[in-house]
Structure 1
Amino acid sequence: MMKIFKKDLGLSTDHFYEIRAGCNTDDVFDTKFKIKAGKTLSEKRWRAAFKTGGSLDIGKCLNRIYHGGIHPSIRGEVWEFLLGCYDPKSTFDEREEIRHRRREQYAELKRSCSNMFPVVGSGKFVTARVIAANGDPIQDPIVLLGTNLESIPPQSQESVSLNQATLVNREHDKEIIQWKLALHQIGLDVVRTDRTLMFYEKQDNLAKLWDVLAVYAWHDKDVGYGQGMSDICSPMIMLYENEADAFWCFERVMRRLRGNFRCTGNSVGVEAQLDNLANVTRAVNPKLHLHLEHLGGGGYLFAFRMLMVLFRRELAFGDALYLWEMMWALEYNPEQFALYEGGETHKKSDVTRKFRRQYGKYARANRKNKSRARGKPETGAPLPFSIFLVASVLKDRSDKLLKEARGLDDVVKILNDISGHMDAKKVCIGAMKIHKKYLKRK
């Protein structure tokens, strides 16, 4: 693990996530996030939060993360807790056992995918269609798969030979057809994802990203693969050397976001979040909401991308990670692990004041508001913090939108202008203020 030295202080995260030389400056944003002593969660502060045996007092870290982010050298390790991969009450040995079990589970999932399509796990990936919608294989698969058998390792060549029927015979299983239909789109997205980073100059890293997305599409068949998932998964590939660890971290993020990617009939899941955004804006900034409705933007489709990929396109790579971890720290629920694993959670009456400190600031506010609302009609689960982040961006641009937007094209242009100029910390602080205002007015 990379050690933290004084020379790291004040450095931007570009120092850790190197940009390819000669990249078009239009494609690269300058990172605003700086590593700051006393604010950024350091390795020393992180280690000090663990008790003998391995249990973690994560409450000691949440405010530090919110105010100063996480040092890149420990980012992957901290994210696993923020995303609920591990119970903060678990011991070192228990976490090692869980990690080992998950790696075996991922290996089995990957073997299943490789048996259906041998390019998975070969170190290569595809960018061309491999199957027709009716299950017929695309002819001349070696050419159309965008790969070369001579460059595939011997063990994978044998797998291709043994499974030639999967490339020649018609497929009848609807789930397998659906999965294979997604593989080429995953490949097309992989070669476009974070193309400015040196990390993805290596073919092995591109193949690793494709493998994780392909396996996830089979693992979560209800959602499969949707454009934008590669942007969410890419940082996991960079942060975790072990592919299985990257997969399970991505899987935890997708538990929060999968509803956005679920398609039913003619609708996309993110539309529900756009409706939530409209409701929030109507409550806290009615003048702006009426103006957007007048322009035909009452459906808030202009915010589609921000919600789908969590500001990956509006921020520099390092700043997007900073925004994510601030958001996850604010939303943190110490019982996430039990919720995900199907274990028991505390009853409301059992949650002590000391235990409440283990919740993120946003999660605490929602719990407090729910307690006040007892006896009133049920309002459903708390909104994801990303809704308030977008509302914060709209508020920041509200004067410009009100004065200059005369049509939806103007709205899109004004919001596109934030790309490369957005301050993640400022937006996060603004989102908390809007959330507080929203709870009072709804």
Structure 2
Amino acid sequence: MRALRRSQTSSSSPNSPSSSSSSSSSSSSWIHLRSVLFVVTSSSPASCSSSDRGRLKSPWSRRRKKHALSPQQWKSLFTSDGRLRDGGVKFLKKVRSRGVDPSIRAEVWPFLLGVYDLNRAKEERDAVKTQKRKEYEKLRRECRRLLKHNSVSFKLTEIGGTCQNGDGGSLIQETDTSGSEDVVSARESLSSEERSPDAEYSDEPSSTLLEGDDGSRRITNADVSALNSESSDSDSSEDPEVIQESPSSEGREENDPDVSSKRNVSPSSTEGLSKLRATEDFSTWQRIIRLDAVRANAEWMPHSASQSAVSEGRARRSAEAVGLKDYDHLDPCRIFHAARLVAILEAYALYDPEIGYCQGMSDLLSPIISVIPEDYEAFWCFVGFMKKARHNFRLDEVGIRRQLNIVSKIIKCKDSHLYRHLEKLQAEDCFFVYRMVVVLFRRELTFEQTICLWEVMWADQAAIRAGIGKSAWSRIRQRAPPTDDLLLYAIAASVLQRRKLIIEKYSSMDEILRECNSMSGQLDVWKLLDDAHDLVVTLHDKIESSF
């Protein structure tokens, strides 16, 4: 994602640092293709016989005849001490095949997203809640401190003032004026602590997200990133309070004699500069988060009546508490929604500084905060979601490349005729489904469809985390084993559903891309899961063994 924005700002900022992984020509074509993707809104037999296929039942084939997990069923799944029966096996089976009733999603999702262990009793979960609330509040305090610092820095820059600490390292450095304007000081008296713990808020993905519609959006992480592009796909940072130094710092030192001289002064000076640059990175994240938040649409409103009824006074207090600007054109519910988005996204940027904030992340948070009323719990649900999805936002693009390779492999194994056609069009790398991968089908499905798909996907991932997929779920495994990559099978299924059209009518990658973008609102999520099931059953072992 960040490489995209860097390429888009290269004309105005020719000296901005490039990604460490984009030196090759193939990487350059990658970046070009990404910009195209975001601006433009079976002949091979299956590995099992048709007779075998007839005996296999998809867990979603009768979804319309089933009811989602109900409040009564949910309560019946717990023992007297508030522990899920059988380690959560029955619970995950039900969610996987039926989804969750909207009235209990706020209770169920923290279990699906790993906030609460499936084997914990209620008393243990209550202790975890208390601890996680404190950790989130600590992150928010640090966010407000940095917001206030950035505001002071901007004001001093305006009057030409300077400020240095005793070690000689500059604590306040001139910052981008346009960025600072969007990071005004939040009044301490209107901090998030003033909001009630159960403050409800929702957001929906911005209609312009991922489209790079203006310069301010496109520089989301042009110079920002406390990202180590060589790191492995590890879980989020264990130290949420530490903002790591941007790897681009070394490059800046070579062209900045002042920085070089300060580097040679003393270890304390080095530490001061490191903190300074980390603060600058976070300042840029804060600015772009606010831009994205006020652009978020209101698709969530019909799905969260209580949150859409927030008072204007409460909405404005929340907006001021996070330093939100330019929101007078929004209804109170959308102001409140934007404020919650800002609070949680910038807390995540501190929690996981390797990823920070990147365009598209608000798309993923939006459904979560429409369902989860308390900010701290929504934050930890988002953290659980991002343990898998965070790799979509790595600067080195390893996560995205891996997923596109899997989609390509699925199509190749399932439909060699279609794959050969894609090869002729030089589209076998499946970059045309890039958007689907990055924001997990969020743009192609309605709000409710997105939630249904994600719940099934989360149930699969929860089963794998709990070790259920290899033991207690043996009967389910015979039908379709839980997989971390269910989304990719669904994406491949959406392409295979259009195989005839692609083969007979499309003669360029751009045409396939337009077809994929036109899927929005045209997909049946349960039919999609049915087809994905068939692909998992027939190809899972083959695909898994090749990666």
Alignment deviations for residues 165-211 of structure 1 (CA, whole Å, 9 cap, x no partner): xxxx9995332222222222212222233333434733222111111
Q: Name the residue aligned to 1:107.
A: 137
Match of residue 250 from structure 1:
382
Q: In structure 2, which of residues 122, 127, 131 is the aligned counterpart of residue 92 of structure 1?
A: 122
SS in 2 for 1:293: helix
- 1:303 Cα shift? 0.7
Any unmatched runs of 5+ in structure 1?
1-26, 28-34, 121-133, 157-168, 337-344, 368-381
User: Which residues in structure 2 correspond to 1:356-371 (within 5 Å)?
Assistant: 356-357=472-473, 361=476, 366=481
How far residue 326 of structure 1 moved from its aligned partner, in angstroms, is 1.6
* In 2: Cα distance, 1:360 partner to 1:305 partner: 34
**Alpha-carbon spacing, 1:172–1:188, altered in 2? closer, same or farther (3 Å):** same
Cα 1:268–1:243 shift into 2, 3 Å? same
Separation of aligned partners in 2, 1:316 and 1:272: 26
- 2:94 match: 64
Matching residue of 1:421? 522
| Alpha carbons of structure 1 residues 287 and 38: separation in structure 2 relative to 1, 3 Å | closer
1:73 Cα deviation from its structure 2 partner: 0.8
Q: For residues 106 and 475 of structure 2, what CA distance do their matches in structure 1 show?
A: 19
Offset from partner CA, 1:315-364 (integer Å, 9 cap, x none):
1111110111022223332744xxxxxxxx89x9xx7x5xx13x894699
Aligned pairs (5 A) from 1:77-156 = 77-118=107-148, 136-139=174-177, 144-145=181-182, 152=187, 154=189
Distance 2:75 2:110 in 1: 15
Aligned with 2:283 (options 164, 176, 180): 180
Partner of 2:75: 47
How far residue 219 of structure 1 moved from its aligned partner, in angstroms, is 0.8
Do residues 238 (structure 1) and 370 (structure 2) align?
A: yes
Kept in 1, the 8 Å contact 2:179–2:287? The answer is no
Q: How large is the Cα RMSD of the aligned pairs?
A: 3.2
Structure 1 residue 416, shift from structure 2 partner: 2.1
Number of the residue aligned with 1:286: 416
User: In the alignment, does 2:513 pair up with 1:412?
Assistant: yes
Q: What is the CA-CA distance between 1:289 and the residue it aligns to?
A: 1.6
Greater mean deviation of Cα atoms: 288-297 or 308-317:
288-297
Task: Tell me what 1:387 maps to.
Answer: 488
Structure 2 residue 393 is the aligned partner of structure 1 residue 261:
yes
**Separation of aligned partners in 2, 1:146 and 1:313:** 29
Q: Distance in 1 between matches of 2:476 and 2:276?
A: 47
Mapped to 2, the partners of 1:435 and 1:73 lie a distance apart of: 31
252-261 vs 81-90, greater mean Cα deviation: 81-90
8 Å CA contact 1:330, 1:361 repeated in 2: no
Structure 2 residue identity aligned to 1:329: A
Q: Deviations over 1:368-411 (max 9, x none)?
A: xxxxxxxxxxxxxx652111111111111111111111111210
Identity %: 28
> Which residue identity does 1:117 align to in structure 2?
L
Normalised to the residue count of structure 1, the TM-score between the two structures is: 0.72
Q: Is the 8 A contact 1:42 1:71 kept in 2?
A: yes
> Is the aligned partner of 1:73 residue 2:103?
yes
Listed as ranges, the matches of 1:311-350 within 5 Å are 311-333=441-463, 335-336=465-466
Deviations along 1:52-89, one digit per CA (max 9) or x if unpaired, are 10111332233332333211110121111111211221
AA of the residue aligned to 2:524: D
Q: 1:268: how far off? A: 5.7
Report the CA distance shift for 1:271/1:154 in structure 2 as closer, same or farther (over 3 A).
same
What TM-score results when the alignment is normalised by the length of structure 2? Answer: 0.59
Q: Look up the equivalent residue of 1:187 and give its one-letter code.
A: R
Partners of 1:101 and 1:363 lie apart in 2 by 40
Tell me which of the two structures has the higher relative contact order, counting C-alpha pairs closer than 8 angstroms and 6 or more residues apart: 2
Moved more, 179-188 or 326-335: 326-335
> Would the alpha carbon gap of residues 87 and 196 (structure 1) be closer, same or farther in structure 2, given more than 3 Å must change?
closer
Residues 431 and 90 from structure 1, CA distance in 2 versus in 1: closer, same or farther, beyond 3 angstroms? same
Cα contact 2:461–2:484 (8 A) shared by 1 = no
Structure 2, unaligned runs of 5 or more: 1-40, 42-62, 151-171, 192-271, 302-307, 309-331
Aligned counterparts of 1:409 and 1:182: Cα–Cα separation in 2: 32
Of 277, 294, 309, which residue of structure 2 is paired with 1:191?
Answer: 294
8 Å contact kept, 1:40–1:65: yes
**Alignment partner, residue 378 of structure 1:** none
